Amino acid sequence: MEKSLLTSAVIFLLSGKLLSQTVIGKIVDEDNSGLAGVTLNLYINPNVYNTTTLANGSFSFIITEVKDEQLPTGYAISNNFPNPFNPKTRIDITLPNSGVVKIEVFNLLGESVTEAIENIMNAGTNFVDIELNGLPNGIYLLRIKIDEKYTVVKKVMLIYGSKHLATDIASNTQPNKNESNKSSFLDTPIDSLVATNSFIGRKTFTNLPNIADDLLDLGDLVIERYCPEAPTVLYEGKLYKTVKIENQCWLKENLDVGIMINRIQSASNNGVIEKYCYGDSITNCNKYGGLYQWDEAMQYVTIEGTKGICPTGWHIPIGAELVTLQTTVDYNSNALKAIGQGIGGGQGTNTSGFSALLAGQRRFDGVNFNFLNSYTYFWSSSISITTSAFIMYMFYYDNLLNIYDYNKDYGISVRCLKD
Protein backbone atom coordinates (compact mmCIF):
# COMPACT_ATOMS: atom_id res chain seq x y z
CA MET A 1 0.00 0.00 0.00
CA GLU A 2 2.69 2.46 1.01
CA LYS A 3 4.55 1.74 -2.15
CA SER A 4 1.63 2.37 -4.47
CA LEU A 5 0.97 5.73 -2.82
CA LEU A 6 4.52 6.75 -3.46
CA THR A 7 4.20 5.75 -7.08
CA SER A 8 1.11 7.91 -7.47
CA ALA A 9 2.93 10.90 -5.99
CA VAL A 10 5.81 10.50 -8.40
CA ILE A 11 3.47 10.27 -11.35
CA PHE A 12 1.76 13.41 -10.20
CA LEU A 13 4.99 15.34 -10.02
CA LEU A 14 5.96 14.25 -13.47
CA SER A 15 2.66 15.14 -15.01
CA GLY A 16 2.34 18.77 -13.92
CA LYS A 17 4.92 21.50 -13.89
CA LEU A 18 5.72 22.86 -10.43
CA LEU A 19 6.14 26.61 -10.50
CA SER A 20 6.25 29.19 -7.78
CA GLN A 21 3.96 32.08 -7.11
CA THR A 22 4.80 34.89 -4.76
CA VAL A 23 2.53 36.60 -2.28
CA ILE A 24 3.86 39.87 -0.88
CA GLY A 25 2.58 42.62 1.40
CA LYS A 26 3.40 44.67 4.42
CA ILE A 27 2.18 44.60 8.01
CA VAL A 28 1.78 48.12 9.37
CA ASP A 29 0.26 49.73 12.42
CA GLU A 30 -2.40 52.41 12.39
CA ASP A 31 0.32 55.05 11.91
CA ASN A 32 1.52 53.22 8.80
CA SER A 33 4.75 52.13 10.53
CA GLY A 34 5.95 48.69 9.43
CA LEU A 35 5.82 45.98 12.10
CA ALA A 36 9.01 43.92 12.23
CA GLY A 37 9.39 40.40 13.56
CA VAL A 38 5.75 39.38 13.17
CA THR A 39 5.30 35.66 12.55
CA LEU A 40 2.94 35.07 9.62
CA ASN A 41 1.11 31.88 8.67
CA LEU A 42 -0.61 31.80 5.29
CA TYR A 43 -3.32 29.14 5.20
CA ILE A 44 -4.08 27.75 1.76
CA ASN A 45 -6.00 24.62 2.60
CA PRO A 46 -4.49 22.14 3.32
CA ASN A 47 -1.09 23.84 3.34
CA VAL A 48 0.41 26.40 5.71
CA TYR A 49 3.25 28.64 4.63
CA ASN A 50 5.35 30.53 7.19
CA THR A 51 7.42 33.67 7.15
CA THR A 52 8.41 36.60 9.37
CA THR A 53 8.13 40.29 8.57
CA LEU A 54 11.33 42.23 7.89
CA ALA A 55 12.40 45.49 9.58
CA ASN A 56 9.99 47.57 7.49
CA GLY A 57 7.10 45.17 8.02
CA SER A 58 7.26 43.68 4.51
CA PHE A 59 6.87 39.98 3.86
CA SER A 60 6.87 37.48 1.02
CA PHE A 61 5.68 33.92 0.64
CA ILE A 62 6.76 31.58 -2.11
CA ILE A 63 3.88 29.31 -3.01
CA THR A 64 4.71 26.23 -5.03
CA GLU A 65 2.01 25.84 -7.60
CA VAL A 66 1.12 23.33 -10.26
CA LYS A 67 1.09 24.76 -13.76
CA ASP A 68 -0.81 23.28 -16.66
CA GLU A 69 1.12 21.68 -19.41
CA GLN A 70 1.05 23.70 -22.60
CA LEU A 71 -1.52 22.07 -24.84
CA PRO A 72 -1.20 22.07 -28.64
CA THR A 73 -3.45 24.39 -30.68
CA GLY A 74 -7.05 23.26 -30.75
CA TYR A 75 -6.92 21.66 -27.28
CA ALA A 76 -8.15 23.47 -24.18
CA ILE A 77 -9.14 22.52 -20.67
CA SER A 78 -10.90 25.18 -18.61
CA ASN A 79 -10.59 25.76 -14.91
CA ASN A 80 -13.39 24.16 -12.98
CA PHE A 81 -16.44 26.16 -12.06
CA PRO A 82 -17.53 26.63 -9.41
CA ASN A 83 -14.35 26.48 -7.35
CA PRO A 84 -14.52 25.85 -4.42
CA PHE A 85 -17.43 23.48 -4.97
CA ASN A 86 -19.94 21.45 -3.04
CA PRO A 87 -20.04 18.70 -4.20
CA LYS A 88 -20.21 19.17 -7.98
CA THR A 89 -17.99 21.14 -10.33
CA ARG A 90 -17.62 21.38 -14.10
CA ILE A 91 -14.74 21.61 -16.53
CA ASP A 92 -14.83 22.21 -20.28
CA ILE A 93 -12.60 20.12 -22.50
CA THR A 94 -12.10 21.24 -26.09
CA LEU A 95 -10.63 18.87 -28.67
CA PRO A 96 -9.76 19.42 -32.37
CA ASN A 97 -10.72 15.78 -33.12
CA SER A 98 -12.57 13.15 -31.15
CA GLY A 99 -10.35 11.54 -28.57
CA VAL A 100 -10.10 9.43 -25.41
CA VAL A 101 -10.17 11.50 -22.25
CA LYS A 102 -9.20 9.99 -18.91
CA ILE A 103 -9.82 11.83 -15.65
CA GLU A 104 -8.32 10.83 -12.31
CA VAL A 105 -8.59 12.54 -8.95
CA PHE A 106 -5.77 12.69 -6.38
CA ASN A 107 -5.30 14.28 -3.01
CA LEU A 108 -2.21 16.39 -2.39
CA LEU A 109 -0.27 13.34 -1.22
CA GLY A 110 -0.67 11.94 -4.72
CA GLU A 111 -3.13 9.28 -3.53
CA SER A 112 -5.90 8.39 -5.96
CA VAL A 113 -9.20 9.09 -4.22
CA THR A 114 -11.71 7.80 -6.79
CA GLU A 115 -11.83 5.37 -9.70
CA ALA A 116 -10.71 6.94 -12.93
CA ILE A 117 -13.23 7.72 -15.64
CA GLU A 118 -12.40 7.28 -19.29
CA ASN A 119 -14.60 8.34 -22.22
CA ILE A 120 -14.48 9.19 -25.87
CA MET A 121 -15.23 12.86 -26.45
CA ASN A 122 -16.25 14.56 -29.69
CA ALA A 123 -14.45 17.34 -31.45
CA GLY A 124 -15.49 20.73 -30.07
CA THR A 125 -16.18 21.67 -26.48
CA ASN A 126 -17.34 19.00 -24.06
CA PHE A 127 -18.14 19.45 -20.43
CA VAL A 128 -17.56 17.06 -17.58
CA ASP A 129 -19.32 17.34 -14.25
CA ILE A 130 -17.26 16.01 -11.41
CA GLU A 131 -18.90 15.22 -8.13
CA LEU A 132 -16.83 14.39 -5.06
CA ASN A 133 -18.72 13.10 -2.06
CA GLY A 134 -17.55 11.58 1.21
CA LEU A 135 -14.08 13.06 0.99
CA PRO A 136 -12.46 15.47 3.43
CA ASN A 137 -12.64 19.11 2.52
CA GLY A 138 -9.56 20.42 0.83
CA ILE A 139 -7.64 20.67 -2.36
CA TYR A 140 -7.70 17.85 -4.92
CA LEU A 141 -5.90 17.45 -8.20
CA LEU A 142 -7.63 16.39 -11.37
CA ARG A 143 -5.31 14.74 -13.83
CA ILE A 144 -6.78 14.86 -17.31
CA LYS A 145 -5.12 12.80 -20.05
CA ILE A 146 -6.06 13.16 -23.71
CA ASP A 147 -5.26 10.22 -25.99
CA GLU A 148 -2.48 9.24 -23.57
CA LYS A 149 -0.52 12.07 -25.14
CA TYR A 150 -1.34 15.23 -23.26
CA THR A 151 -1.72 15.61 -19.54
CA VAL A 152 -3.06 18.56 -17.60
CA VAL A 153 -3.37 18.82 -13.83
CA LYS A 154 -6.09 21.01 -12.34
CA LYS A 155 -6.27 22.00 -8.73
CA VAL A 156 -9.79 22.04 -7.30
CA MET A 157 -11.14 22.78 -3.88
CA LEU A 158 -13.85 20.68 -2.27
CA ILE A 159 -15.78 22.22 0.53
CA TYR A 160 -17.91 19.19 1.33
CA GLY A 161 -18.52 15.79 -0.03
CA SER A 162 -19.80 10.09 -1.70
CA LYS A 163 -16.78 8.64 -2.91
CA HIS A 164 -18.37 8.84 -6.25
CA LEU A 165 -17.19 10.39 -9.44
CA ALA A 166 -20.11 11.35 -11.66
CA THR A 167 -19.67 10.43 -15.30
CA ASP A 168 -22.02 12.89 -16.92
CA ILE A 169 -20.30 13.77 -20.11
CA ALA A 170 -21.98 15.84 -22.78
CA SER A 171 -20.94 17.55 -25.93
CA ASN A 172 -22.01 20.75 -27.54
CA THR A 173 -21.28 22.40 -30.80
CA GLN A 174 -19.84 25.68 -29.57
CA PRO A 175 -16.69 26.71 -31.30
CA ASN A 176 -13.43 26.59 -29.40
CA LYS A 177 -13.04 29.37 -26.92
CA ASN A 178 -9.58 30.82 -27.06
CA GLU A 179 -9.87 32.10 -23.50
CA SER A 180 -9.86 28.54 -22.25
CA ASN A 181 -6.24 28.36 -23.27
CA LYS A 182 -4.95 31.39 -21.50
CA SER A 183 -4.95 30.47 -17.83
CA SER A 184 -1.57 29.10 -16.96
CA PHE A 185 -2.17 29.45 -13.21
CA LEU A 186 -5.18 28.32 -11.31
CA ASP A 187 -6.98 30.71 -9.03
CA THR A 188 -5.90 29.73 -5.54
CA PRO A 189 -8.10 30.95 -2.72
CA ILE A 190 -6.34 32.03 0.47
CA ASP A 191 -8.16 30.88 3.58
CA SER A 192 -6.48 33.26 5.97
CA LEU A 193 -3.32 35.02 6.99
CA VAL A 194 -2.55 34.86 10.71
CA ALA A 195 -0.11 37.32 12.29
CA THR A 196 1.32 36.68 15.77
CA ASN A 197 3.98 37.90 18.13
CA SER A 198 4.23 38.59 21.82
CA PHE A 199 3.28 42.26 21.46
CA ILE A 200 0.30 42.14 19.14
CA GLY A 201 -1.02 38.73 20.21
CA ARG A 202 -2.85 37.10 17.31
CA LYS A 203 -4.61 38.78 14.41
CA THR A 204 -6.35 36.98 11.52
CA PHE A 205 -6.91 38.44 8.06
CA THR A 206 -9.60 36.85 5.89
CA ASN A 207 -11.39 37.76 2.65
CA LEU A 208 -8.05 38.14 0.90
CA PRO A 209 -7.94 38.04 -2.91
CA ASN A 210 -7.24 34.78 -4.75
CA ILE A 211 -3.76 34.10 -6.04
CA ALA A 212 -4.48 34.34 -9.76
CA ASP A 213 -1.09 35.21 -11.17
CA ASP A 214 2.58 34.67 -10.44
CA LEU A 215 2.57 37.64 -8.06
CA LEU A 216 -0.08 38.73 -5.59
CA ASP A 217 0.53 41.96 -3.66
CA LEU A 218 -1.71 42.17 -0.62
CA GLY A 219 -0.61 45.77 0.02
CA ASP A 220 -0.63 47.20 3.55
CA LEU A 221 -2.36 45.07 6.16
CA VAL A 222 -3.08 47.12 9.26
CA ILE A 223 -2.74 45.83 12.79
CA GLU A 224 -3.96 48.43 15.23
CA ARG A 225 -1.77 48.61 18.28
CA TYR A 226 -3.50 51.21 20.39
CA CYS A 227 -5.21 50.23 23.60
CA PRO A 228 -8.82 49.34 22.76
CA GLU A 229 -9.93 50.82 26.07
CA ALA A 230 -8.19 54.16 25.33
CA PRO A 231 -7.09 54.68 21.70
CA THR A 232 -6.00 58.24 22.48
CA VAL A 233 -5.87 60.43 25.58
CA LEU A 234 -6.48 64.19 25.56
CA TYR A 235 -4.62 65.69 28.51
CA GLU A 236 -3.98 69.37 29.19
CA GLY A 237 -4.50 70.32 25.55
CA LYS A 238 -2.31 67.59 24.09
CA LEU A 239 -3.49 64.41 22.38
CA TYR A 240 -1.46 61.32 23.24
CA LYS A 241 -1.45 58.04 21.35
CA THR A 242 -1.48 54.79 23.28
CA VAL A 243 0.01 51.36 22.68
CA LYS A 244 -0.92 47.95 24.02
CA ILE A 245 2.14 45.85 24.81
CA GLU A 246 0.99 42.43 25.91
CA ASN A 247 -1.24 43.26 28.88
CA GLN A 248 0.09 46.74 29.55
CA CYS A 249 -1.42 49.88 28.09
CA TRP A 250 1.17 52.69 27.78
CA LEU A 251 1.08 56.22 26.52
CA LYS A 252 2.98 55.97 23.23
CA GLU A 253 4.70 59.31 23.86
CA ASN A 254 6.60 60.87 26.73
CA LEU A 255 4.51 63.10 28.90
CA ASP A 256 4.76 66.78 28.02
CA VAL A 257 2.70 68.68 30.56
CA GLY A 258 3.29 71.77 32.68
CA ILE A 259 5.28 74.96 32.34
CA MET A 260 8.95 75.04 31.42
CA ILE A 261 11.46 76.08 34.07
CA ASN A 262 15.12 76.84 33.43
CA ARG A 263 17.62 74.02 34.05
CA ILE A 264 19.20 75.81 37.01
CA GLN A 265 15.87 75.97 38.85
CA SER A 266 14.43 73.17 40.93
CA ALA A 267 10.80 72.16 40.71
CA SER A 268 8.78 72.75 43.87
CA ASN A 269 5.54 71.69 45.50
CA ASN A 270 3.66 74.76 44.32
CA GLY A 271 0.54 73.36 42.66
CA VAL A 272 2.04 73.93 39.20
CA ILE A 273 3.57 71.16 37.14
CA GLU A 274 7.11 72.16 36.18
CA LYS A 275 9.12 70.60 33.42
CA TYR A 276 12.55 70.99 31.88
CA CYS A 277 12.94 71.03 28.13
CA TYR A 278 16.27 69.79 26.81
CA GLY A 279 18.55 72.78 26.10
CA ASP A 280 15.87 74.98 27.70
CA SER A 281 14.13 74.79 24.30
CA ILE A 282 10.37 74.30 24.17
CA THR A 283 10.87 72.73 20.72
CA ASN A 284 12.60 69.82 22.41
CA CYS A 285 9.66 69.38 24.80
CA ASN A 286 7.35 69.18 21.78
CA LYS A 287 9.50 66.48 20.28
CA TYR A 288 10.88 64.53 23.26
CA GLY A 289 8.45 65.40 26.02
CA GLY A 290 9.30 67.13 29.27
CA LEU A 291 12.05 66.11 31.70
CA TYR A 292 10.86 65.90 35.31
CA GLN A 293 12.45 65.59 38.72
CA TRP A 294 11.08 62.61 40.62
CA ASP A 295 9.28 64.53 43.39
CA GLU A 296 7.59 66.75 40.81
CA ALA A 297 6.59 63.74 38.66
CA MET A 298 5.15 62.13 41.80
CA GLN A 299 3.52 65.42 42.90
CA TYR A 300 5.20 65.11 46.28
CA VAL A 301 3.78 61.81 47.42
CA THR A 302 5.86 58.64 47.72
CA ILE A 303 3.14 56.05 47.13
CA GLU A 304 4.06 53.46 44.48
CA GLY A 305 1.75 53.59 41.45
CA THR A 306 0.52 57.09 42.22
CA LYS A 307 -1.08 59.19 39.48
CA GLY A 308 1.49 61.97 39.91
CA ILE A 309 1.51 64.19 36.81
CA CYS A 310 -0.22 61.51 34.69
CA PRO A 311 -3.78 61.89 33.38
CA THR A 312 -6.62 60.60 35.53
CA GLY A 313 -6.84 56.81 35.23
CA TRP A 314 -3.09 56.54 34.58
CA HIS A 315 -0.08 56.33 36.86
CA ILE A 316 3.70 56.44 37.11
CA PRO A 317 4.70 52.77 36.63
CA ILE A 318 6.01 50.94 39.66
CA GLY A 319 9.40 49.23 39.41
CA ALA A 320 7.79 45.81 38.93
CA GLU A 321 5.77 47.13 35.97
CA LEU A 322 8.98 48.30 34.29
CA VAL A 323 10.40 44.82 34.91
CA THR A 324 7.30 43.36 33.20
CA LEU A 325 7.97 45.54 30.16
CA GLN A 326 11.64 44.61 30.27
CA THR A 327 10.70 40.92 30.29
CA THR A 328 8.11 41.29 27.52
CA VAL A 329 10.74 42.70 25.17
CA ASP A 330 13.23 40.06 26.32
CA TYR A 331 15.64 42.68 27.74
CA ASN A 332 16.09 44.11 24.24
CA SER A 333 15.90 47.91 24.26
CA ASN A 334 15.84 48.05 20.45
CA ALA A 335 12.32 46.63 20.61
CA LEU A 336 11.34 49.73 22.62
CA LYS A 337 13.22 52.37 20.61
CA ALA A 338 11.49 54.19 17.78
CA ILE A 339 12.74 53.55 14.25
CA GLY A 340 15.64 55.92 13.55
CA GLN A 341 16.83 55.98 17.18
CA GLY A 342 20.25 54.47 17.88
CA ILE A 343 22.96 53.14 15.60
CA GLY A 344 24.59 49.79 14.80
CA GLY A 345 23.62 47.18 17.39
CA GLY A 346 21.47 49.79 19.13
CA GLN A 347 19.14 50.66 16.27
CA GLY A 348 15.50 50.80 17.22
CA THR A 349 13.21 48.21 15.67
CA ASN A 350 10.19 49.35 17.69
CA THR A 351 8.71 45.88 17.51
CA SER A 352 6.89 46.66 20.75
CA GLY A 353 5.40 49.95 19.49
CA PHE A 354 6.68 51.75 22.63
CA SER A 355 8.45 54.27 20.38
CA ALA A 356 11.11 55.42 22.87
CA LEU A 357 13.16 58.49 21.92
CA LEU A 358 16.71 59.06 23.18
CA ALA A 359 15.60 62.16 25.09
CA GLY A 360 18.65 62.76 27.29
CA GLN A 361 18.42 64.30 30.77
CA ARG A 362 18.77 67.38 32.93
CA ARG A 363 21.67 66.77 35.29
CA PHE A 364 20.76 66.44 39.01
CA ASP A 365 22.67 69.63 39.90
CA GLY A 366 21.34 71.67 36.99
CA VAL A 367 24.80 72.26 35.53
CA ASN A 368 23.71 71.07 32.10
CA PHE A 369 21.59 68.84 29.96
CA ASN A 370 23.30 65.84 28.42
CA PHE A 371 22.94 62.66 26.40
CA LEU A 372 20.30 63.80 23.88
CA ASN A 373 20.27 61.11 21.15
CA SER A 374 22.42 58.91 23.40
CA TYR A 375 20.42 57.85 26.43
CA THR A 376 16.88 57.88 27.69
CA TYR A 377 15.58 57.26 31.18
CA PHE A 378 12.09 56.67 32.56
CA TRP A 379 10.99 57.14 36.14
CA SER A 380 9.26 54.49 38.16
CA SER A 381 7.24 55.40 41.23
CA SER A 382 9.30 53.02 43.39
CA ILE A 383 12.05 54.36 45.60
CA SER A 384 15.28 52.49 46.29
CA ILE A 385 16.81 54.61 49.05
CA THR A 386 15.49 57.93 50.31
CA THR A 387 17.29 59.99 47.70
CA SER A 388 16.86 57.62 44.74
CA ALA A 389 14.11 55.93 42.74
CA PHE A 390 14.18 53.13 40.21
CA ILE A 391 14.42 53.97 36.53
CA MET A 392 14.54 52.09 33.25
CA TYR A 393 17.16 53.29 30.80
CA MET A 394 18.64 52.49 27.41
CA PHE A 395 21.61 53.58 25.31
CA TYR A 396 22.09 54.37 21.62
CA TYR A 397 24.68 51.82 20.52
CA ASP A 398 23.61 48.61 22.23
CA ASN A 399 20.40 46.72 22.88
CA LEU A 400 20.69 46.58 26.66
CA LEU A 401 17.69 47.49 28.75
CA ASN A 402 18.44 48.17 32.36
CA ILE A 403 16.66 48.94 35.57
CA TYR A 404 18.73 51.05 37.94
CA ASP A 405 18.31 53.49 40.75
CA TYR A 406 18.80 57.17 40.16
CA ASN A 407 19.11 60.40 42.08
CA LYS A 408 15.62 61.94 42.34
CA ASP A 409 16.97 65.36 41.35
CA TYR A 410 17.70 64.37 37.76
CA GLY A 411 15.19 65.58 35.18
CA ILE A 412 14.15 62.61 33.01
CA SER A 413 11.21 61.30 30.97
CA VAL A 414 7.88 60.07 32.26
CA ARG A 415 5.73 57.43 30.56
CA CYS A 416 2.35 56.86 32.07
CA LEU A 417 0.76 53.42 32.39
CA LYS A 418 -2.99 52.75 32.41
CA ASP A 419 -4.34 51.78 35.81
CB of 313 to Ca ion, least distance (A): 21
CB of 259 to Ca ion, least distance (A): 9
Query: How, if at all, do strands 359-362 and 369-372 pair?
Result: antiparallel
x/- mask, Ca ion, residues 315-354, rule CB under 5 A, reads ----------------------------------------
Residue 365's closest CA among 265, 268, 277?
A: 265
CB of 240 to Ca ion, least distance (A): 21
Q: Which is nearer to Ca ion, 28 or 267 (CB)?
A: 267
Q: Which is nearer to Ca ion, 101 or 267 (CB)?
A: 267
Q: Which is nearer to Ca ion, 135 or 298 (CB)?
A: 298
CB of 285 to Ca ion, least distance (A): 16
Q: Scanning residues 176 to 215, which ones bind Ca ion (CB under 5 A)?
A: none
Instruction: Kindly indicate which of the ranges 2-10, 206-214, 218-226, 263-271 contains the residues binding Ca ion, using the contact rule CB under 5 A.
Output: 263-271
Q: Which is nearer to Ca ion, 157 or 267 (CB)?
A: 267
Residue number of the CB closest to Ca ion reads 274
Q: Which is nearer to Ca ion, 274 or 304 (CB)?
A: 274
CB of 273 to Ca ion, least distance (A): 6
Q: Which is nearer to Ca ion, 198 or 299 (CB)?
A: 299
Is 256 a binding residue for Ca ion by CB under 5 A? The answer is no
Instruction: Kindly indicate which of the ranges 40-48, 249-257, 267-275, 350-358 contains the residues binding Ca ion, using the contact rule CB under 5 A.
Output: 267-275
Out of 253, 256, 274, 321, name the contact with Ca ion by CB under 5 A: 274
x/- mask, Ca ion, residues 104-143, rule CB under 5 A, reads ----------------------------------------
Instruction: Kindly indicate which of the ranges 116-124, 166-174, 260-268, 355-363 contains the residues binding Ca ion, using the contact rule CB under 5 A.
Output: 260-268
Show the CA angle centred on residue 39, arms to residues 217 and 187, nearest 5°: 35
Q: Which is nearer to Ca ion, 308 or 342 (CB)?
A: 308
> How many chain residues interact with Ca ion (CB under 5 A)?
4
Residues forming contacts to Ca ion in the complex (CB under 5 A) are 267, 270, 272, 274
